Structure formats: C-alpha cells, structure tokens
Amino acid sequence: MEEVGSARAPSLPAEAGYPAARPTVRFQAGQPPRAVGRWRVQRGERGLERDKVESPQAAERRSSRSPPRSLDGSEEPGSVAAVALVSGVFARLRERGPLKTAYVVVVLAVTALLVLAPPLYVVVYALAHAEEVAKEAFLHYLLGSVYWQTIVRALGLSLRLALATLAVDLVLGLPLSYLIARRRLKGYVLVENLAILPLVLPTSAFGFAALMAWSSPTGVSSLFGYRAALIPQDAVIPVIDVPALLLIVHVALTLPYLVRPLVATLETLGEAYELVSRSLGASTLTTFRRIVLPLIAPSLVTGSALALTRSLGETGATLIAAGVNFPASVAIVRLVGALKLGLASLLASLLVASTLSLVLPVELLSKRAALRTEVRDTRLERIFIRVERKLSSSALLPKLAKALLASSLAVLLLAPIAVIVKMLVEYWSRDPYTGRVEGGIIYQVFGPAGYWPRIVRAAANSFLVASLATLVAVYASILLFAAVRRTKLLPLVRAFIKIPLIVPTSATGLSALLLYGESGLNLLQPGIWLTLLVHVSFTTPVVFETLISTYESLEVDPLEEVARTLGATPYDALETVTLQVLRRGIVAGAVLAFLGSLGETGATMMVMGRDEMLTVLIVNMAEAMAIPAALFTSALLLLYALAALFLIRVFIR
C-alpha cells in the first residue's frame, strides 16, 4: 500500500498532568488514517502516568491475550465472549493475504457439508440407484406399477393441498395483515399474537388438538349437544379433492408465514401514501388495490413462497390428522417404515424437485416483484372504481369483514386449544364415557401404564438436541457471516442456504439417514447425534438469515471503520463493535432456531432411533390410542408454546 503522508498528533497539555508523547499518524491511499502508536494512561502511585507508546502489532498481541470486552469495557461472560473469540481469530486470518481465501473456502465447505448436504443427498442416492428404484416402482414382480401410482397420488395431493392452503391464506392473510398493521381491530395485539402462535406450536401437538376438536365426538360438536364428529377425518372437499381436516390444519400452520412479512412491511410503509390517495378522492378499496398492493408485492410474494413451502413440507400434524388420504411428506415416512428406502428416495427427490422449482424462482424474483402502478382509463378500470366506491361507502362491510376474520382465527386456532383444555379436565381421573380409571390421564401417565418416564426422557432429549443445535447454528452463522458479508458471494450464499428451509423435513431426514448411515458414509447410526446433525441443517439458515437481516438494517460498517481508525484490530472491531451491535439479532435468531428444533417432527422421526423426542412421542401415543397420555403431553407443549411466544415478544421486539 502506497504511503502518501504522515503527521504528528498535537501533544496534550503537560500542565493537565498528561505526558507529552505524540504518536505518528500515517496516511495511506484508500485507507483511513491510523496511528502508529497509541497512548495508554494508567493511575499509579504517582497519579496519572503514561505507559510506553506501543505499536499496533503489540496492541494486537495484547488484545489476543486479554479477555473479550464489551463496548463499556466490562468482560463479556459466556457464549457471546466465546463466539467473539472464535470469530475474531478467523477475522484476523481473513486480513492476511492467501489465508483470507483459505478461510472463506473452509467456511463455505463446512457450511455445505453441514447445511446443504443433508437435504440434497437424497437426489444423489436416487440417481445412483436409479435402476433398482425403477424396477421396484414400475416393474414389481407382484404389484407391477402400484407403487408408482401411490407416489403420483401422494405427490398430487401434496400439490393440491399446498395450492389450496395458499389460496385460503391469501384470502384471510391480506385483510388481516392490513387491519393489524393499521390498528383497525380492537385488541389488535392479541389478534397479532394469536396469528403468529403457530410459529411456536409443536406441529404434532397442534395436529392432535385439531383432530380432537373436529373429528372426535368429544370435540367442538359436543359443545352443541351432538355426539358425532363435526368434520370426519376422511371428509374431502369436492372439486379440489383435498381432505377438509388437513386443509384446516395447514391453513392454521402456514398463515403466520404470510401475515408476519406483510404486517412488518405495512408498518414500515406507514399511511402517507394512502392519505394522499384518499385526499385525491380514491376510495379505501381503490387505494389498497392501486397503491398499497404494488408496494407490498415483494413481501407478498416472499410470504406466499414460505407458506407454500411450509404446506408441502408439513409432516408432524399431517401424520396425526391424515386418514386414508395422505400427502407425500407422510408417504415418505410410511415407505421408510416399510423399509422401502429406494421408493422413499424417489418420492423425496420428486418432492424436493417440485418444491425447489416452485419456490426458488419466486425467491430469486421476489425483490423485483412489483405490480403495475400506472392507471389507464379503461372501461374495466372505471367499473372497478365504481364497485370499490360503493363497497367502501358501506358501513356494514368493514364490520362483516372483521367478524369473518375473527371467527376464522377462532376456528383455526382457539377451538383446538380450547378442546384440549376441556378434554384434559374430563379425562383427568377417568374416561368420561366408560368411567374406567384405566382411561384417565392419572393412570396412563403416572400409573402402571408408565408414560411419565418416557415423557421425561423425551423432553430431556428434545431440549438437549435443540440447545446443542442452536449453539452450533449460532457459531456457524457468525463464522459464515464474517466470511461473506463484504463479498460478492453474499447473495448466492443467502439463496442457497435457504434450501434446508424449503426442502420438506421428512425428505431432509431421509436424506441425512442415507448420507450418514450405512448406505452412505457410515459415520452415524440413528440416534441423538444424527438427530443433532439434521437439526443443525435447518437451524443454521434461521440464525444466519436473521443475522444478515439485522446487519443490513443497521449501519454497522461505519462504526467498525471508526474503531479501525482508532487503532482497533479486526478482532477488536468485530468483538467490541459488530457483534455487540448485532447481538439482539443473534439472540432473536437463536430463539427462533431453538423453537423450530424443539417442535420439529418429520425429520426427527427418521433419524432419532431409540432416542425418542417429545413431538414424535405424541405421534406414537396417538397411533397407540393412548389418548389421555397424548392429551397430557399436548397440553404441556401448548403451555410451552405460550411461554415461547412471550420470549419472542421480549427478544424480537
């Protein structure tokens, strides 16, 4: 680097008790001025004394030996200091010639192995065993092409169910998001919390609650004096040929993925454009169609893609709520249970390909998404404006829309939770219909049936895996962040690291089983450690995306440059400035990753072996018809979900 000048800093006044040492300040082309040495003033026996002027190299060696410190100079305890230490070491390497490239390559390679390989290996396995898979699917010696027909039927149901779910999400989510963001609902905070509750609900617990609410004679129908299921488990909606119960469950679980981005975008935009439009004579509905909708189009596209992906990959609740008609995510689990790994890999590959082909183009184009905002005076446009003006002038329409949205949320979310509480009381000591003690919660959970030890072990396993997976995800995300945040690789890394969130979880579990098990690298058998690796795969993208979003929303680089100008090493700048500013985003991502890991069912079921997890235990209880024990466990998880929602509110807001 060419040196273009130097200067001597002015001396401090000696009469104030400061020494007269003046470090040299050098100026280099394209770089901020940096002092060759810096003052260190300490209080000794003779008052304020000057330590020797030290070079940046000496300061760097000293900082590497000193404990990590925060902005206020206090020592940083625990994991934040450890993360800063590891990240700081790698940050130093990034500044030193060839080691910078080596660091980036190593971090990207480890990320690909831990994050991308588990969900995508199933495609490689299916292609490598294409001949035997084709024989079993199309040319079975007894069944012919029956397995292929089953695969096509399951995949078709998944696509129809996902598209129907997205359509209902759009009908409910758009007006609900607008009313929440504009504070047009009484108790909008409660409504917003209720709308995002499924984000923290363990899916198997919610699936069991929905099954009891709508397809059990003791559910919602019993509140009206009926002794029959309100929605039979195998009831199918005509025309679209989708099970009604599955549609209700999927809409409830995917609605937050559409509502949250839209609410955030609408709150950011404010009401200025709408006020201008209405002041010029446009009605409320015309303003929404011509002004608001084009502005929120990117968030609408992104939220729709997330909802579609969530529906395609949902496994836990679907396993419990599905009857004889089951989608591809459940079919994969059943094929693995029947030891048909080749057929399961074929179905998983088709599901992965379908999901990626639907979602990746949307993700890549979401930032460019925009609706036409220019108004053309056409006959159709004039008709729209007249209809919208009449509807907007009606005082009944807003009240009707609010009532419809409130009742929809009650049906989707409140009814299953209320039924679980009701049945928990009824089944506590005995079966309310037969009067048998053996049918009560106390007998099955705490009595001879012995479910309580299994619940405790499963809860311990779940919390251990979730904690370790979150810890690894935080470390991996910070190292990856330090490697790519100022490179041209960042957009590409952000696009590819979302793949584990897009791929259905049951396919991810099968892929990891094939990759690390006997059919692949033969490193791990099904158990808690293989479960941990799978959970790291889909928790790391959550933490990384939250970290990058926080980094882009805050102006961190100027603060870091100031620290470097004042003589801080790359490690010091990363530790005391960047990570400190981004700490809230890191914590928010860690909370979301922990909750996602704790509630995961599909992938966990594939790889857990004998180390049973809590969400899978509910599925096993339901299949064993241990309804009271499943009620008790589901109630525990629902209580945990409410506590988790409180944590999200504390850390994210």
Q: Which residue type is seen at 537?
A: S
CA distance linking residue 436 with residue 566, whole number of Å: 77
HSE-up (13 A, CA, CB side) for residue 87: 27
- CB atoms closer than 10 angstroms to residue 641: 22
Which pLDDT band, with edges at 50, 70 and 90, does 363 fall under?
Answer: low
Domain assignment present for 508: no
Q: What is the pLDDT of residue 460?
A: 93
DSSP labels, 484-552: HTTSTTHHHHHHHHTHHHHS-HHHHHHHHHHHHSTTTT----SSHHHHHHHHHHHHHHHHHHHHHHHHH
- Torsion-angle region of 144 (φ positive above 0: left; ψ -120 to 50: alpha; else: beta): left
pLDDT value at position 130?
87
Q: Per the domain annotation, does 606 fall within a domain?
A: no
Tell me what the mean pLDDT of segment 202-229 comes to.
Answer: 84
Q: How far apart are CA 379 and CA 57, in angstroms?
A: 75
> Does 511 reside within a domain?
no
Res 383: pLDDT: 80
Task: For residues 193-206, give the mean pLDDT.
Answer: 82
Lowest mean pLDDT among 17-21, 308-312, 318-322: 17-21
Q: What is the spatial order of strands in the sheet that 34-35 belongs to?
A: 3-8, 24-28, 34-35
Specify whether the CB–CB gap between 503 and 352 falls below 8 A: yes
Contact of 478 with 470, CB cutoff 8 Å:
no
Enclosing H/E stretch for 265: helix 244-269
Is residue 49 domain-resident?
A: no
Q: What is the pLDDT confidence band of residue 73, given thresholds at 50, 70 and 90? A: very low
pLDDT given at position 622: 85
The pLDDT of residue 351 = 87
Give the domain extent around 155. Answer: 129-209+233-394
For the chain, percent of residues with pLDDT exceeding 70 = 81
Backbone angles phi, psi at 431, to 5 degrees: -70, 125
Average pLDDT, rounded, for the chain: 79
Which helix H or strand E contains 629, and what residues bound it?
helix 627-652
Buried b (16+ CB within 10 A) or exposed e, 367-387: eeeeeeeeeeeeeeeeeebee
Within a domain: 613: no
Confirm whether 408 is domain-assigned.
no
- 62-76, 446-460, 636-650: least confident range: 62-76
Structure tokens belonging to residue 350:
């088709």
Residue 299: CATH number of its domain: 1.10.3720.10
155 lies in some domain? yes
Number of domains composing the chain: 1
Q: Is the pLDDT of residue 555 over 70?
A: yes
Q: Is the pTM of this model over 0.85?
A: no
510-545 as b/e: b if 16+ CB within 10 A: bbbbbbbbeebeeebebebbbbbbbbbbbbbbbbbb
| Predicted pLDDT at 12 | 41
Mean pLDDT, residues 357-378 taken together: 64
How does pLDDT run across 317-352, given as a tens digit for each residue? 898 888 778 898 889 988 888 888 889 999 989 988
Q: Does residue 189 form part of some domain?
A: yes
Work out the pLDDT band at 583, boundaries 50, 70, 90: confident
Q: What integer pLDDT is reported at residue 72 of this predicted model?
A: 43
> What pLDDT does residue 373 have?
55
Among the listed ranges 11-20, 78-87, 136-145, 383-392, which one has the minimum average pLDDT value? 11-20
Considering only CA atoms, which of 589, 575, 490 is closest in space to residue 66?
575
Average pLDDT (456-483) is 92
Confidence category of residue 160, pLDDT binned at 50, 70, 90: very high
